[in-house]
């Protein structure tokens, strides 16, 4: 239906936003050009427009029934806030290729002067709505906590993350509510293609810098204990964008979790991990960890290794960690790094379903993969495969696994 479609927008040579009422905005579902995927929704609060340098916008001309390239201007994309999953990547033609920075590029258009994006709302923004963040009292709250714990390096780091990177889990610590991040590890046992905290100098820049120190148990407890005891739906999460793999600090985390749980049973202790260091995951589970979220690009070893570039482990260890944590009553989520046109391909879906069925994991958290879509192009072998829309893909997943929770956020333990 035409009402579900948006018109093409782009940036002219002066940097002004322009709408072409003759061309309908398109996006890509893999190699397939799509006019719409369900509907185009209003750009949510917290979403932003980005230029795509070296890329020309393309749109669909109804009268001529063909896709047209607009020369001499620059294509645009949107990035989405948490709670929304993109359904199409931007439509463009490359004129002068340069690799894009690490963001989740989403197709964008306009209807009646309103910006529209190809996306589905996949979780409620009850706690993650941008209106609850970057408030006028944030700097004061940060200053008060820094004064209370002047030697705590975690608090110093999270103050930087809250103010410079606008990290919501960092801000939650100072607001004393919900999920708060606790970075602990400067090193990693993977070298992910789309790592947001460490990239080679010649590559696309990382959105944030990784810590270069390891805290002690006292610093972890100073941050975690008050939050778990006082915050509504309090969660502390190891494994943030400003660190490497937290399970590599096994001894620190085991002692920290034991120290915390000796003093309080309140709140949820969570780890965001690649789960490749199975020995550590088992030790943390046995020490009182409540939940785990495991990042995954693909459940097929070939593709998993292409993206994660694991060092000293394989996808088999990840499976073992998932199985162990489920068996020991942790709440287990998969942090699925989702890209339309790749993740909804048949072979990827079959492998994902097998992982869900054999491990018994409880939740899929969808994450819009932060990467230049062109990086994934070499992985697509069958260019003639007709792909389901993202909405159809989600319906199929929910139908086959009715107990599986699909969303975007870590939940507190019940």
Backbone φ, ψ for residue 304 (5° rounding): -55, -50
325-378: pLDDT as tens digits: 999 999 999 999 999 999 999 999 999 999 999 999 999 999 999 999 999 989
Rounded Cα distance, 251 and 261, in Å: 15
Overall size of the chain counted in residues: 414
363-373: pLDDT as tens digits: 999 999 999 99
Rounded Cα distance, 376 and 297, in Å: 11
**CA 387 to each of CA 29, 60, 263, 362: distance values in angstroms, whole numbers, following the listed order:** 7, 20, 52, 26
Position 241 pLDDT exceeds 50: yes
**CA 16 to each of CA 19, 52, 116: distance values in angstroms, whole numbers, following the listed order:** 10, 14, 17
Q: Enter the tokens of residue 219.
A: 């610093």
Mean pLDDT of 263-281: 98
Beta strands in 136-213 (DSSP E): 179-181
In this structure, are residues 91 and 60 in contact, taking their beta carbons and an 8 Å threshold? no
Q: Enter the tokens of residue 51.
A: 């230029």
**CA 68 to each of CA 50, 59, 191, 261: distance values in angstroms, whole numbers, following the listed order:** 21, 5, 39, 61
Look at 15-29, 34-48, 142-156, 240-254 and tell me which has the smallest mean pLDDT.
Answer: 34-48
Look at 34-43, 139-148, 269-278, 390-399 and tell me which has the smallest mean pLDDT.
Answer: 34-43
**CA 275 to each of CA 57, 239, 300, 405: distance values in angstroms, whole numbers, following the listed order:** 40, 11, 16, 20
Neighbour tally for 230: CB within 10 Å: 12
Average pLDDT, the chain: 93
Per-residue pLDDT band at 21 (split at 50, 70, 90): very high
Q: Enter the tokens of residue 252.
A: 């620190």
Per-residue pLDDT band at 205 (split at 50, 70, 90): very low
Maximum CA extent, the chain: 71
Which candidate, 114, 110, 130, 115, places its Cα nearest to that of 46? 130
Position 184 pLDDT exceeds 90: yes
Position 204 pLDDT exceeds 60: no
60-76: pLDDT as tens digits: 998 888 999 999 999 99
Mean pLDDT of 46-52: 95
Look at 90-94, 177-181, 377-381 and tell me which has the smallest mean pLDDT.
Answer: 377-381
Contacting residues for 390 by C-beta, under 8 A, at least 6 apart: 29, 37, 38, 85, 86, 87, 120, 340, 344
- DSSP codes of every residue in 375-403: GTGGG---TTPPPPPHHHHHHHHHHH-TT
Instruction: Please tell me the predicted confidence (pLDDT) of residue 285.
Output: 98
Domains and CATH numbers, the chain: 2-121 (no CATH), 130-407 (3.20.20.70)
**CA 304 to each of CA 288, 361, 366: distance values in angstroms, whole numbers, following the listed order:** 29, 18, 16
């Amino acid at each position: 239906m035409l009402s579900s479609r948006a018109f093409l927008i782009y940036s002219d040579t002066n940097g002004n936003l322009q709408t072409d009422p003759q061309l309908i905005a398109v996006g890509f579902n893999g190699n397939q050009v799509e006019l719409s995927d369900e509907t185009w929704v209003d750009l949510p609060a917290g979403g932003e427009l980005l230029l795509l340098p070296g890329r020309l916008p393309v749109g669909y001309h109804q009268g001529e029934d063909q896709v047209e390239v607009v020369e001499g201007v620059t294509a645009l994309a949107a990035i989405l806030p948490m709670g929304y999953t993109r359904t199409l990547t931007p439509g463009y033609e490359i004129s002068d290729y340069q690799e894009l920075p690490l963001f989740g590029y989403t197709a964008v258009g306009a209807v009646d002067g309103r910006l529209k994006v190809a996306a589905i709302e996949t979780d409620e923004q009850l706690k993650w709505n941008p209106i609850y963040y970057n408030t006028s009292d944030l700097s004061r709250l940060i200053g008060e906590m820094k004064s209370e714990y002047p030697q705590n390096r975690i608090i110093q780091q999270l103050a930087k993350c809250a103010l410079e990177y606008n990290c919501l889990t960092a801000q939650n610590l100072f607001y004393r509510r919900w999920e708060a991040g606790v970075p602990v590890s400067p090193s990693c046992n993977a070298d992910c293609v789309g790592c947001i905290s460490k990239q080679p100098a010649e590559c696309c820049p990382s959105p944030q810098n990784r810590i270069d120190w390891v805290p002690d148990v006292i610093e972890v407890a100073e941050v975690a204990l008050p939050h778990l005891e006082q915050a509504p739906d309090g969660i502390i999460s190891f494994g943030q964008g400003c660190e490497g793999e937290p399970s590599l600090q096994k001894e620190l985390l085991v002692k920290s979790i034991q120290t915390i749980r000796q003093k309080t049973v309140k709140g949820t202790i969570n780890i965001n991990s690649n789960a490749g260091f199975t020995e550590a995951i088992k030790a943390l589970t046995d020490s009182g960890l409540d939940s785990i979220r495991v990042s995954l690009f693909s459940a097929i070893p070939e593709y998993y290794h292409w993206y994660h570039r694991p060092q000293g482990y394989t996808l088999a260890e990840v499976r073992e960690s998932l199985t162990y944590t489920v068996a020991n009553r942790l709440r287990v989520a998969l942090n699925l790094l989702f890209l339309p046109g790749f993740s909804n391909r048949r072979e990827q879906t079959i492998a994902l379903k097998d992982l869900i069925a054999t491990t018994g994991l409880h939740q899929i958290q969808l994450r819009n993969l932060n990467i230049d879509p062109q990086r994934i192009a070499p992985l697509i072998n069958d260019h003639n495969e007709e792909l389901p829309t993202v909405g159809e893909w989600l319906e199929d997943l929910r139908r086959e696994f009715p107990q599986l929770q699909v969303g975007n956020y870590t939940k507190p333990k019940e």
